[in-house]
Amino acid sequence: MVHTPPPFPVSRPRRNRRTDWMRDLTRENSLSASDLIWPIFVREGDDVVEPIDSMPGVNRLSVSRAVEAANEAANHGIPLIALFPYTDPDKKTPDAAEAWNPENLVNTATRAIKAQVPDIGIMLDVALDPYNSDGHDGIVREGVVMNDETLGALEQQALTQAEAGADILGPSDMMDGRIGIIRRALEQNDFPDTAIMAYSAKFASAFYGPFRDAVGASGALKGDKKTYQLDPANSDEALRMVARDLDEGADMVMVKPGMPYLDICQRVKQEFAVPTYAYQVSGEYAMIAGAGDNGWIDRDKAMLESLMAFKRAGCDGILSYFALETAKFLRRDMDLF
């Protein structure tokens, strides 16, 4: 029997792509300011805005400027900011004690922002690397990052952060047992409402390079972080880390970096159905911003496309250095899609 094809395409999916309004009508995902978490780098000084070379468009801000930035973020509908410190090298020690100084930079900034911008959430990283003269997230003895000894330090750090008014703690250190220890400390010290966003699937990535510059940890870092961060080749292991952190008391989980790990985002969301976030890290930012500034790609379009991809993969939100820029853009128009 001779098969005669019909004289027209049986289906015409292009009908649904024909006009702006038709594309608006059939779009499966959306991006809004409420999906965005903005990381801000804080440094000492009065009224300082210091550019970061490897992250064009991102600055280190002194506390008063960080308060202004938080206010702007709140006014643009961003629900949460994440504060990271650029610590004076003189304050870095092998025991990283500055991490639990109640008056350290992030704790001071948190108090100032809470007093002046009460309607935005604040997240603080729980990890020792900005304060540690070895540049590692944990305490180092004879070249080894010590797990259990680090847990005590993280516990103290977490408590001073909760006391300063942090709403969400983000343990980014990848030590074993840290979520359980922190959760117990919060419960015992009358902080039952402080949430934990666990950096559960955090990979040993080259994409963190510019961040380590930004917080002044790159010069300090001895060796690499492969004994605690995940191997980029693994995906089942990432799911096991998420399961463990949820068991220990995490309220939400994070995948990091973002774009090269969208498959992990999707698996985590499908498997656990919990609030799932991705961190579009400094190296991802640098690639898009750097290529954009050179005219090699369209910065705005690449920025929005990259953020929408996280939503498509199932993320509930994205930490991104583009957060404020994107929120401003979304307020103006959504015509790039």
Q: What's the residue count for the chain?
A: 337
**34 neighbors 297 (Cβ within 8 angstroms):** no
202 is an active site residue: yes
Q: Which residue is nearest to ligand PBG (CB)?
A: 211
Interface with ligand PBG by CB under 6 A: which residues?
125, 127, 129, 137, 172-173, 208, 211-212, 225, 281-282
CA–CA gap between residue 334 and residue 318 (Å, rounded): 18
Please identify, using beta-carbon distances, which residue of 197 and 327 lies nearer to ligand PBG. 197
Q: Which of 91, 92, 256, 269 is catalytic?
A: 256
- Kindly state the smallest distance separating residue 327's Cβ from ligand PBG, in Å: 18
Place of tokens 């000894």: 149
The SS3 assignment for 40 reads: strand
256 is an active site residue: yes
Please identify, using beta-carbon distances, which residue of 13 and 143 lies nearer to ligand PBG. 143
Burial 212-240 (b: 16+ CB within 10 A, else e): bbbbbbeebeeeebeebbbeeeeeeebbe
Please identify, using beta-carbon distances, which residue of 64 and 234 lies nearer to ligand PBG. 234
Q: What is the DSSP string of 126-177?
A: E-STTTBTT--SSEEETTEEEHHHHHHHHHHHHHHHHHHT-SEEEE-S--TT
- Kindly state the smallest distance separating residue 141's Cβ from ligand PBG, in Å: 19
- Kindly state the smallest distance separating residue 71's Cβ from ligand PBG, in Å: 23
**Pairing between strand 80-85 and 59-61?**
unpaired
- Kindly state the smallest distance separating residue 13's Cβ from ligand PBG, in Å: 38
- Kindly state the smallest distance separating residue 55's Cβ from ligand PBG, in Å: 8
Q: Which of 92, 202, 225, 311 is catalytic?
A: 202
Please identify, using beta-carbon distances, which residue of 177 and 337 lies nearer to ligand PBG. 177
Please identify, using beta-carbon distances, which residue of 172 and 200 lies nearer to ligand PBG. 172
Token digits of residue 231: 């191997």
Query: Hey, which residues are catalytic here?
Result: 202, 256
